[in-house]
Structure 1
Amino acid sequence: MSRTRLAEAPYNQSGDLITYVGTNPDRVHEWRPNTPFPTMLILEGTTRGMSAARFVWRSDKGHRYEMFMMDAVDLMKRDAPIWHGTADTWWMVQKRGKNYGIRRATHDDLKTAGHVPGPKSDCRACDGVAYGYESWCPLPPTPDVPHQFRGGPLTRSCLCGLGSKDNIHTHNRETL
Protein backbone atom coordinates (compact mmCIF):
# COMPACT_ATOMS: atom_id res chain seq x y z
CA MET A 1 0.00 0.00 0.00
CA SER A 2 1.39 3.40 -0.91
CA ARG A 3 1.41 6.00 1.83
CA THR A 4 1.93 9.73 1.87
CA ARG A 5 4.98 10.38 3.97
CA LEU A 6 4.37 12.38 7.12
CA ALA A 7 7.20 14.91 7.47
CA GLU A 8 6.83 15.70 11.19
CA ALA A 9 5.04 14.31 14.23
CA PRO A 10 3.85 16.07 17.41
CA TYR A 11 5.32 15.23 20.83
CA ASN A 12 4.60 16.60 24.31
CA GLN A 13 7.17 17.68 26.95
CA SER A 14 7.46 14.11 28.29
CA GLY A 15 8.38 12.77 24.85
CA ASP A 16 5.01 11.06 24.31
CA LEU A 17 3.45 11.06 20.85
CA ILE A 18 0.41 13.35 20.80
CA THR A 19 -2.41 11.48 19.11
CA TYR A 20 -4.66 14.46 18.37
CA VAL A 21 -3.63 18.10 17.99
CA GLY A 22 -6.93 19.55 16.76
CA THR A 23 -7.72 22.97 18.22
CA ASN A 24 -5.00 22.71 20.92
CA PRO A 25 -1.71 23.24 19.04
CA ASP A 26 -0.20 24.69 22.24
CA ARG A 27 -0.10 21.12 23.66
CA VAL A 28 2.67 20.32 21.17
CA HIS A 29 6.09 20.78 22.76
CA GLU A 30 7.97 19.92 19.57
CA TRP A 31 7.43 18.69 16.04
CA ARG A 32 10.05 16.01 15.34
CA PRO A 33 11.12 14.79 11.92
CA ASN A 34 9.29 11.55 11.17
CA THR A 35 12.04 9.02 10.58
CA PRO A 36 12.13 5.33 11.58
CA PHE A 37 13.13 4.90 15.22
CA PRO A 38 14.00 1.74 17.15
CA THR A 39 12.48 1.05 20.53
CA MET A 40 11.04 -1.73 22.63
CA LEU A 41 7.35 -1.21 23.28
CA ILE A 42 5.30 -2.81 26.06
CA LEU A 43 1.58 -3.22 25.48
CA GLU A 44 -0.43 -1.45 28.19
CA GLY A 45 -3.95 -1.90 26.85
CA THR A 46 -6.47 -0.16 24.64
CA THR A 47 -8.15 3.21 24.51
CA ARG A 48 -11.07 4.60 22.62
CA GLY A 49 -11.28 8.07 21.12
CA MET A 50 -14.17 9.71 19.32
CA SER A 51 -13.25 8.16 15.99
CA ALA A 52 -11.05 5.15 16.65
CA ALA A 53 -10.04 2.44 19.07
CA ARG A 54 -6.29 2.11 19.58
CA PHE A 55 -3.68 0.01 21.35
CA VAL A 56 -1.59 1.85 23.96
CA TRP A 57 2.12 1.07 24.14
CA ARG A 58 4.80 2.33 26.54
CA SER A 59 8.45 2.31 25.49
CA ASP A 60 11.20 0.89 27.66
CA LYS A 61 12.19 4.56 28.19
CA GLY A 62 8.68 5.41 29.48
CA HIS A 63 7.28 7.20 26.41
CA ARG A 64 3.65 6.60 25.43
CA TYR A 65 2.52 5.75 21.89
CA GLU A 66 -0.84 4.74 20.47
CA MET A 67 -1.39 2.40 17.53
CA PHE A 68 -4.48 2.16 15.36
CA MET A 69 -6.10 -1.28 15.45
CA MET A 70 -5.58 -1.65 11.72
CA ASP A 71 -1.82 -1.27 12.23
CA ALA A 72 -1.85 -3.69 15.18
CA VAL A 73 -3.46 -6.30 12.92
CA ASP A 74 -0.76 -5.64 10.31
CA LEU A 75 1.93 -5.95 13.00
CA MET A 76 0.57 -9.32 14.12
CA LYS A 77 0.07 -10.69 10.60
CA ARG A 78 3.58 -9.83 9.40
CA ASP A 79 6.81 -11.15 10.83
CA ALA A 80 5.93 -9.63 14.20
CA PRO A 81 8.67 -9.40 16.83
CA ILE A 82 6.14 -9.77 19.67
CA TRP A 83 7.03 -11.61 22.88
CA HIS A 84 4.77 -11.60 25.96
CA GLY A 85 3.26 -8.23 25.09
CA THR A 86 6.49 -6.55 24.00
CA ALA A 87 7.51 -5.60 20.48
CA ASP A 88 11.10 -4.62 19.74
CA THR A 89 11.57 -3.21 16.25
CA TRP A 90 11.69 0.00 14.19
CA TRP A 91 8.64 2.27 14.17
CA MET A 92 7.16 5.17 12.20
CA VAL A 93 4.49 7.71 13.04
CA GLN A 94 1.57 8.00 10.66
CA LYS A 95 -1.58 10.06 10.45
CA ARG A 96 -5.06 8.68 9.84
CA GLY A 97 -7.63 11.42 9.51
CA LYS A 98 -6.70 13.94 12.20
CA ASN A 99 -5.11 11.36 14.53
CA TYR A 100 -1.50 10.27 14.90
CA GLY A 101 -0.33 6.77 15.76
CA ILE A 102 2.62 4.45 15.24
CA ARG A 103 3.15 1.49 12.96
CA ARG A 104 6.03 -0.83 12.24
CA ALA A 105 8.46 0.74 9.79
CA THR A 106 8.41 -0.91 6.37
CA HIS A 107 11.42 -1.71 4.18
CA ASP A 108 10.48 1.32 2.05
CA ASP A 109 10.53 3.55 5.15
CA LEU A 110 13.97 2.24 6.09
CA LYS A 111 15.34 2.64 2.54
CA THR A 112 13.94 6.19 2.27
CA ALA A 113 15.65 7.04 5.57
CA GLY A 114 18.97 5.92 4.04
CA HIS A 115 19.42 2.49 5.63
CA VAL A 116 21.52 -0.06 3.77
CA PRO A 117 21.56 -3.81 4.32
CA GLY A 118 24.45 -5.19 6.33
CA PRO A 119 26.41 -4.35 9.46
CA LYS A 120 25.21 -1.29 11.36
CA SER A 121 28.73 0.15 11.11
CA ASP A 122 28.25 0.39 7.31
CA CYS A 123 24.85 2.09 7.55
CA ARG A 124 24.94 5.89 7.88
CA ALA A 125 21.26 5.99 8.89
CA CYS A 126 22.10 3.84 11.93
CA ASP A 127 24.77 6.30 13.18
CA GLY A 128 24.01 7.47 16.68
CA VAL A 129 21.07 5.09 17.12
CA ALA A 130 21.02 3.68 20.63
CA TYR A 131 20.14 0.15 19.61
CA GLY A 132 23.41 -1.32 20.79
CA TYR A 133 22.59 -5.00 21.08
CA GLU A 134 21.75 -5.31 17.37
CA SER A 135 24.83 -5.03 15.18
CA TRP A 136 22.94 -5.09 11.88
CA CYS A 137 21.00 -2.40 10.04
CA PRO A 138 17.29 -3.29 10.19
CA LEU A 139 17.09 -3.54 6.40
CA PRO A 140 17.62 -7.23 5.54
CA PRO A 141 20.25 -8.19 2.95
CA THR A 142 19.23 -9.01 -0.60
CA PRO A 143 20.59 -11.89 -2.70
CA ASP A 144 21.70 -9.54 -5.52
CA VAL A 145 24.25 -7.52 -3.48
CA PRO A 146 27.36 -9.07 -1.86
CA HIS A 147 27.10 -8.91 1.93
CA GLN A 148 28.17 -10.56 5.13
CA PHE A 149 26.23 -13.63 6.18
CA ARG A 150 23.36 -12.77 8.54
CA GLY A 151 21.72 -15.86 9.95
CA GLY A 152 18.03 -16.22 10.53
CA PRO A 153 16.83 -17.07 14.05
CA LEU A 154 15.91 -20.70 13.30
CA THR A 155 17.89 -21.64 10.20
CA ARG A 156 21.40 -21.85 8.81
CA SER A 157 20.25 -19.70 5.89
CA CYS A 158 21.04 -16.03 5.55
CA LEU A 159 18.19 -13.53 5.84
CA CYS A 160 18.67 -12.93 2.10
CA GLY A 161 17.29 -16.44 1.56
CA LEU A 162 20.51 -18.04 0.33
CA GLY A 163 22.51 -20.73 2.11
CA SER A 164 25.43 -19.85 4.35
CA LYS A 165 27.97 -21.25 1.87
CA ASP A 166 26.67 -19.28 -1.14
CA ASN A 167 29.37 -17.29 -2.99
CA ILE A 168 27.66 -14.00 -2.16
CA HIS A 169 28.88 -14.54 1.43
CA THR A 170 32.48 -15.56 0.59
CA HIS A 171 34.15 -12.40 1.87
CA ASN A 172 33.01 -13.30 5.39
CA ARG A 173 33.73 -17.05 5.59
CA GLU A 174 35.51 -16.79 8.94
CA THR A 175 32.21 -16.17 10.77
CA LEU A 176 30.44 -19.27 9.36
Structure 2
Amino acid sequence: MKNTAQAAPYVNGNLIASVQSPGGRIEWRDNEPFTAALTVMDYERGIASVRFIVETAEGTSYPMFAKDFLDMIHHSGRVIDGTVEGRWQVVKRGTNYGLRYIGAAA
Protein backbone atom coordinates (compact mmCIF):
# COMPACT_ATOMS: atom_id res chain seq x y z
CA MET A 1 0.00 0.00 0.00
CA LYS A 2 1.31 3.43 -0.93
CA ASN A 3 2.72 5.53 1.95
CA THR A 4 2.48 2.65 4.42
CA ALA A 5 5.10 3.06 7.13
CA GLN A 6 7.38 0.14 8.11
CA ALA A 7 7.16 1.08 11.78
CA ALA A 8 5.04 3.61 13.64
CA PRO A 9 5.92 5.92 16.56
CA TYR A 10 3.89 5.74 19.78
CA VAL A 11 4.18 7.68 23.03
CA ASN A 12 2.28 6.47 26.10
CA GLY A 13 0.45 3.96 23.87
CA ASN A 14 -0.85 6.58 21.43
CA LEU A 15 0.24 7.08 17.82
CA ILE A 16 2.01 10.43 17.43
CA ALA A 17 1.76 12.59 14.33
CA SER A 18 5.42 13.64 14.27
CA VAL A 19 8.65 12.45 15.84
CA GLN A 20 10.02 16.01 15.76
CA SER A 21 8.30 16.92 19.05
CA PRO A 22 7.19 13.62 20.58
CA GLY A 23 6.33 14.74 24.10
CA GLY A 24 7.83 11.60 25.61
CA ARG A 25 9.88 8.51 24.89
CA ILE A 26 9.07 7.05 21.46
CA GLU A 27 8.23 3.37 21.17
CA TRP A 28 8.54 2.12 17.56
CA ARG A 29 6.00 -0.62 16.76
CA ASP A 30 5.66 -2.81 13.68
CA ASN A 31 2.96 -1.37 11.47
CA GLU A 32 0.47 -4.21 11.28
CA PRO A 33 -3.14 -3.64 10.17
CA PHE A 34 -5.62 -3.97 13.04
CA THR A 35 -9.37 -4.10 13.56
CA ALA A 36 -11.05 -1.59 15.86
CA ALA A 37 -14.07 0.61 16.38
CA LEU A 38 -12.77 4.19 16.39
CA THR A 39 -14.66 7.31 17.37
CA VAL A 40 -13.89 10.77 16.01
CA MET A 41 -13.05 12.83 19.09
CA ASP A 42 -11.48 16.09 17.91
CA TYR A 43 -9.43 17.84 15.29
CA GLU A 44 -6.23 19.85 15.49
CA ARG A 45 -4.41 22.24 13.24
CA GLY A 46 -0.79 21.91 12.31
CA ILE A 47 1.33 24.50 10.54
CA ALA A 48 -0.06 23.59 7.13
CA SER A 49 -2.63 20.89 7.79
CA VAL A 50 -5.65 19.73 9.72
CA ARG A 51 -5.84 16.30 11.26
CA PHE A 52 -8.60 14.48 13.07
CA ILE A 53 -8.13 12.53 16.29
CA VAL A 54 -9.84 9.16 16.58
CA GLU A 55 -9.92 6.96 19.69
CA THR A 56 -10.72 3.44 20.76
CA ALA A 57 -13.21 2.87 23.59
CA GLU A 58 -10.18 2.28 25.83
CA GLY A 59 -8.80 5.76 25.05
CA THR A 60 -5.96 4.94 22.65
CA SER A 61 -5.71 7.85 20.22
CA TYR A 62 -4.57 8.13 16.62
CA PRO A 63 -4.18 11.17 14.37
CA MET A 64 -5.79 10.94 10.92
CA PHE A 65 -4.96 13.08 7.90
CA ALA A 66 -7.93 15.04 6.51
CA LYS A 67 -7.65 13.18 3.18
CA ASP A 68 -7.87 9.81 4.94
CA PHE A 69 -10.76 11.05 7.08
CA LEU A 70 -12.74 11.96 3.94
CA ASP A 71 -11.86 8.61 2.32
CA MET A 72 -13.12 6.86 5.48
CA ILE A 73 -16.43 8.76 5.36
CA HIS A 74 -16.91 7.87 1.68
CA HIS A 75 -15.83 4.20 1.84
CA SER A 76 -16.62 2.87 5.32
CA GLY A 77 -20.31 2.51 4.58
CA ARG A 78 -21.40 3.42 8.09
CA VAL A 79 -20.58 6.06 10.64
CA ILE A 80 -22.75 5.59 13.72
CA ASP A 81 -22.59 8.24 16.45
CA GLY A 82 -19.17 9.27 15.16
CA THR A 83 -17.80 5.72 15.29
CA VAL A 84 -16.47 3.58 12.44
CA GLU A 85 -15.61 -0.09 12.80
CA GLY A 86 -13.05 -1.42 10.38
CA ARG A 87 -9.46 -2.32 9.54
CA TRP A 88 -6.81 0.35 10.02
CA GLN A 89 -3.14 0.93 9.26
CA VAL A 90 -0.65 3.71 9.87
CA VAL A 91 0.55 5.74 6.87
CA LYS A 92 3.38 8.24 6.58
CA ARG A 93 3.21 11.45 4.56
CA GLY A 94 6.41 13.47 4.56
CA THR A 95 7.56 13.39 8.19
CA ASN A 96 4.06 12.89 9.63
CA TYR A 97 2.13 9.78 10.64
CA GLY A 98 -1.60 9.12 10.64
CA LEU A 99 -4.17 6.35 10.51
CA ARG A 100 -5.95 5.16 7.36
CA TYR A 101 -9.17 3.13 7.01
CA ILE A 102 -8.31 0.11 4.84
CA GLY A 103 -11.58 -1.81 4.82
CA ALA A 104 -14.48 -3.37 6.65
CA ALA A 105 -13.89 -5.47 9.76
CA ALA A 106 -13.87 -9.20 9.09
TM class by smaller structure: 0.7 to 0.9
For 1:60, the aligned partner's letter is: A
Q: Deviations over 1:54-73 (max 9, x none)?
A: 11111111111111110011
Greater helix proportion: 1
> Percentage identity across aligned positions?
34
Q: What's the counterpart of residue 9 of structure 1? A: 8
> Is the partner of 1:82 in helix, strand or coil?
coil
Where structure 1 has 5 or more consecutive residues not aligned to the other structure, the ranges are 108-136, 139-176
In the TM superposition, what whole-angstrom CA distance separates every residue of 1:117-158 from its partner, at most 9, and x where no partner exists?
A: xxxxxxxxxxxxxxxxxxxx73xxxxxxxxxxxxxxxxxxxx
Determine if the alignment matches structure 1 residue 49 to structure 2 residue 40: no
Q: Is the 8 A contact 1:40 1:86 kept in 2?
A: yes
- AA partner of residue 101 (structure 2): R
Superposition TM-score, scaled by structure 1 size: 0.54
Contact 1:39/1:60 (<8 A) preserved: no
Larger Rg: 1
* Partner in structure 2 of residue 81 of structure 1: 78
> Aligned pair in 2 of structure 1 residues 85, 95: CA closer, same or farther (>3 Å)?
same
| Structure 2: gaps of 5 or more residues | none
1:4 CA drift (Å): 3.9
1:25 is displaced (CA, Å) by 6.3
Aligned residues: 106
Q: Report if the CA contact (8 A) 1:20-1:99 is conserved.
A: yes
**After superposition, what is the alpha-carbon deviation per residue over 1:76-117, rounded to whole angstroms, capped at 9, x for unaligned?**
11133311101111110001111110011259xxxxxxxxxx
1:32-55 superposed Cα distances (whole Å, 9 cap, x missing partner)? 100101111111121101121011
TM-score in terms of structure 2 length: 0.87
For residues 28 and 38 of structure 1, do their structure 2 counterparts lie closer, same or farther at Cα, with a shift above 3 Å needed? farther
Amino acid across the alignment from 1:9: A
| Larger RCO of the pair (alpha carbons < 8 Å, separation 6+) | 2
Aligned counterparts of 2:86 and 2:103: Cα–Cα separation in 1 = 11
